[in-house]
Amino acid sequence: MSIGIYFSFPFSKPPVKGLGWGAGAYQTEIARDYLQSILKEIESSPFKGQKIFSLLLGAGDWSLVAPDLLKRMVLALRKKFSLTSQTEFTLEVSPANLDLKKLRLFCQLGVNRVSLNLFRFDYPGLKITVSNLKKAGIRNFNFDLYFGQPGQTLSSWKKDLQRIASLKPTHLSLYSHGSARKQPHLKRELYSLAQDYLVTKAYQQYEICHFCRPGLEAKQNLLYWKRKNFLGFGAGAASLWNNRRRQNPRNIRTYLKLIQSGKKSAACAKRLTQEEEQAEVIYCALRQTAGLDLKRFQQVYGGDLYSSKKQAIDTLIAKGYLSRKGNRIALTKEAYLSADDSIAKLI
């Protein structure tokens, strides 16, 4: 069985406010205690021997982690699971704290994909970082971009997109900054501009937030949206295993106390009911540009979704938020930024 594994390291320097990424202030002692706790969580995990399809070390700036600890974590994974050269091994970092020496160390540990958080970045420095990535042998890299930041305009956003596209990342992730209620019209224009522009640069959109070069979708993303088995370690990390979901507490100190006391790390765990499973299947499918296969859904769950939700589906189609081609329904581009509202009408 191939699975996904996710490590949460919610620290950056300085901390990033208003985002889910790097929200905690990096402090050496706390970070070391935190990573030691993840090691304990790995060692106590009842799962072992599975082949790792994708490995993501995310949630913050992993370039801040001491090399000895990073090496220990990879060794612990290798002892517990099957980490191979075919595993997509992604590290999330800030370009501000990255150099060629660190990148070469990452490669020695098996990292073959890097995700760069561009909440704050300078273009000349980013060009150097991309050059170092290629020197280290890493040609598969993602940029996390944020639209709707204070002071951002259509012209400044277009300029950023042009500069970023010139660096030829294999993957781009676009996230709305701050509350969806702030500047909704501007955000819609910024997002639409990015959609149209990236198509001209040979990027394909495969999920509401994600764009890639053909065939270079993030394997970890595909696991999440196709609801495959994955394990999460660290504060706030979630897992899905045979239709059972669990999540660790988001508070870092609460997580540390649980691990250090030898208790189970999950703050909540439950087996999904069939109704909850169906709702997740619909939600995850409609987040993807490919949409939901109604025939396949009926084969698995025995119900005709179109017949049971005909009024809601037809209304969304009439409003231009949903399209139907044969047995497949999908959100339209116009509905992506209000996807949750549209999907809620079906689930």
315-336, pLDDT tens digit by residue? 999 999 999 999 999 999 989 9
- Grade residue 278 by pLDDT with cuts at 50, 70 and 90: very high
Q: How far is CA 161 from CA 7, 38, 54, 123, 239, in A?
A: 29, 37, 28, 11, 34
- Grade residue 202 by pLDDT with cuts at 50, 70 and 90: very high
Residue 238 β-bridge partners: 247
- In angstroms, the CA 98 to CA 128 distance is 10
Does pLDDT of 21 surpass 90? no
Q: What is the mean pLDDT of residues 28-36?
A: 92
Token readout for 207 is 């999920």
Does pLDDT of 23 surpass 90? no
Q: Is 52 helix (H, G, I), strand (E, B) or coil?
A: strand
Does pLDDT of 342 surpass 90? no
User: Distance of alpha carbon 165 from its chain centroid, rounded?
Assistant: 20
Q: Which of 17-26, 105-114, 204-213, 224-233 bottoms out in mean pLDDT, i.e. has the lowest? A: 17-26
Buried/exposed 20-32: b ≥16 CB within 10 Å, e otherwise: ebbbbebeeeebe
pTM: 0.91
CB 168 within 8 A of CB 198: no
Average predicted confidence (pLDDT) for the chain: 91
> Of 12, 116, 129, 118, whose CA–CA distance to 60 is shortest?
12
Helix axes 123-136, 100-109, angle to 10 degrees: 40
- For 322, the enclosing helix (H) or strand (E) is strand 322-325
- Grade residue 264 by pLDDT with cuts at 50, 70 and 90: low
- Grade residue 267 by pLDDT with cuts at 50, 70 and 90: low
User: What is residue 265's predicted lDDT score, i.e. its pLDDT?
Assistant: 61
* Chain segment 294-312, per-residue pLDDT in tens: 999 999 998 888 888 899 9
Token readout for 115 is 């995700």
- In angstroms, the CA 346 to CA 311 distance is 10
244 C-beta neighbours (distance < 10 Å), count: 12
Q: What is the mean pLDDT of residues 125-135?
A: 95
Radius of gyration (C-alpha) of the chain in whole angstroms: 21
Does pLDDT of 67 surpass 90? no
Token readout for 135 is 């020197």
Q: Please tell me which residue, 219 or 16, carries the higher pLDDT value.
A: 219
Does pLDDT of 112 surpass 90? yes
In the chain, the percentage of residues whose pLDDT exceeds 70 is: 98
In the chain, the percentage of residues whose pLDDT exceeds 90 is: 73
Q: What is the DSSP letter of 226?
A: T
Does pLDDT of 209 surpass 70? yes
Domains contained in the chain, CATH given: 2-225 (3.20.20.70), 291-344 (no CATH)
Q: What is the mean pLDDT of residues 184-190?
A: 91
Token readout for 296 is 């396949």
- Grade residue 266 by pLDDT with cuts at 50, 70 and 90: low
User: What is residue 346's predicted lDDT score, i.e. its pLDDT?
Assistant: 84
Strands of 35-110, DSSP E: 51-58, 88-93
Token readout for 23 is 């929200």
> Of 185, 232, 278, whose CA–CA distance to 4 is shortest?
232
Report the sign of the C-alpha dihedral through residues 266, 271, 275, 280, in that order. positive
User: What is residue 340's predicted lDDT score, i.e. its pLDDT?
Assistant: 85
- In angstroms, the CA 251 to CA 253 distance is 6
